Amino acid sequence: MPTVRLEYRHTPWLSAALALGAVIGPAQLAVSQSAVPTAVQAKRFALRVRLADDSPEPTDLTLWYTRDRGETWRRGPKAAIGQDHIVFEAPGEGLYGFYIVAGGEKAASSSAPKAGTTPQRWVYVDYTPPLAQWKDIAVSADANGARRVAMRWAAHDANLDTRPIALAYQRAGEAYWTTIDAALPNTGAYDWTPPGDLAGRVTFRLLVRDLGGHVVERLLGPISLDVPQPAAAQAPATRPTTQAAVQASPAATRPAWPAGPVGAAQREQARRLYDQGTWHRVRGQYAEAQERYREALEIDPTLLAARADLAGVLYARGQYGDAIREYSRVLQEDPARPSALRGLALAYVARREYAPAREMLERLLLHDEKDAEAWLDLGDVAEWTGDRRSARAHWSKAATVNPAAEDVILKARNRLSLFPPTGSGTKRTDGK
């Protein structure tokens, strides 16, 4: 019996894989039903249609979906004859069940689903990542001298499971993380007794997972695990508060450089700190890298490489406003620096500030009109602002301007396939 398979093909711009199946004629489903939901991190995603070699062309292909576990079903979009995909746009986040009915010249694969019909595939749609931030980390000791680390955070999302929090720490100079707890409830607080041999400065990591598969990371540190001294042990003017201790930097112990022109010794010291920051950055140790880059810039504010890489680290940590400020300072000194133009555009996009993002990408293309990635990003910005015509023009440029940019060409062609010209494509038939 000829078969039709409908699957979601992974593209980095959209989400994870999804597969459905149907058989034309009175036979069993070609793909076994799955009770485990697939996480999809996109509101709009494509379901690819594939025919078996001996299958006739179906006269129609209709997608049905349920949002109440099969109690009621709504008709979704259809695939036109010859079309190799169906684009589904989720009306909201949550659990969806999908069912496909394929029509042929002889018979349909099945009748339309009704109350009680089991979906062929469960999908959890969640296109909004969690909001997460550290609030405080305080080190103290009990009467017996045992250390306690009180961690406080805030995490919010409509689709968190019962234990979405993971905590870990990283010793200074090490490349790996040690897990404190991989599955904590989102209480916003955890009191931890560190190992007796753990000393010095430590960076802490907070991971928040949601049901859609998003994982948000927030780092805090490096933080000294030394217990603060009693007030009598030192003068109040020099004893840091708990919050100050959290934010303390090794720069506080560095000798102050005199104001004025940067000398050779200062430049060398700044360069060494920059190299240390790069060592941490390439290993994903962004908190340490940020600290070293800032120290280098305190000594030599003219070290543009440190400022550009600091902006990149700030972007990677989700501190988009700070990244924009640092990228802008780089461009004041070097207006044509490609990495700064691209990084500034991405930071603006992260804040949904599309007009300045478009301006940065256009400036980037003025210096290199064959930058396929810039054309691709410019098309994305146009699509997000509702300008489908310009988006397709930019994606077409990305697909042709540089034959060597194979990854970009593939992404551009996927976008052109998924987003037809405004006014064309499959007419909706869901009754909306």
CATH number at residue 149: 2.60.40.10
| pLDDT cut 70: percent of the chain above it | 75
pLDDT in tens, 182-214: 999 999 899 999 988 888 888 999 999 988 788
- The answer to whether the CB of 266 falls within 8 A of the CB of 257 is yes
Final residue before a domain boundary, out of 179, 211, 244? 244
**411, exposed or middle or buried, with CB in 10 Å at 0-12, 13-18, 19+?**
buried
41 and 87 fall within a common domain? yes
> Which pTM does this prediction carry?
0.44
342 and 268 fall within a common domain? yes
For residues 303 and 158, what is the distance between their CA atoms, to the nearest angstrom?
43
44 and 116 fall within a common domain? yes
pLDDT in tens, 110-119: 678 889 898 8
pLDDT in tens, 326-368: 999 999 999 989 999 999 999 998 888 999 999 999 999 998 9
| Host domain of residue 420 | 369-432
Final residue before a domain boundary, out of 367, 382, 404? 367
Q: What is the pLDDT of residue 27?
A: 26
pLDDT in tens, 224-234: 887 765 544 44
Amino acid, single-letter form, for residue 345: A
DSSP state of 251: G
358 and 394 fall within a common domain? no
The answer on pLDDT for 25 being more than 60 is: no
Q: Which residue has the tokens 């949904």?
A: 352
Q: How far apart are the first and last CA of the chain?
A: 35
CATH code for position 334: 1.25.40.10
Final residue before a domain boundary, out of 330, 346, 367? 367
Q: What is the pLDDT of residue 13?
A: 28
The answer on pLDDT for 54 being more than 80 is: no
Domain count, the chain: 4
15-24, 69-78, 268-277, 376-385: least confident range: 15-24
Instruction: Label the pairing between strands 165-171 and 201-209.
Output: antiparallel
268 and 299 fall within a common domain? yes
Q: Render 351-365 in DSSP notation, one character per residue.
A: TT-HHHHHHHHHHHH
269 and 298 fall within a common domain? yes
**Mean pLDDT, residues 140-153 taken together:** 84
Which whole-number Å values give the CA distances from 418 to 176, 265, 395, 422, in the listed order? 40, 57, 12, 12
37 versus 70: the higher-pLDDT residue is 70
373 and 345 fall within a common domain? no
- The answer to whether the CB of 79 falls within 8 A of the CB of 51 is no
Q: Specify which residues 45 forms β-bridges with.
A: 88
Question: From edge to edge, which strands make up the β-sheet containing 34-40?
Answer: 34-40, 121-125, 94-103, 60-66, 74-79
Amino acid, single-letter form, for residue 90: A
**366, exposed or middle or buried, with CB in 10 Å at 0-12, 13-18, 19+?**
exposed
195 and 221 fall within a common domain? yes
270 and 382 fall within a common domain? no
259 and 360 fall within a common domain? yes
Token pair in block for residue 348: 């603006």
114 and 153 fall within a common domain? no
165 and 227 fall within a common domain? yes
For residues 360 and 295, what is the distance between their CA atoms, to the nearest angstrom?
28
- The answer to whether the CB of 304 falls within 8 A of the CB of 330 is yes
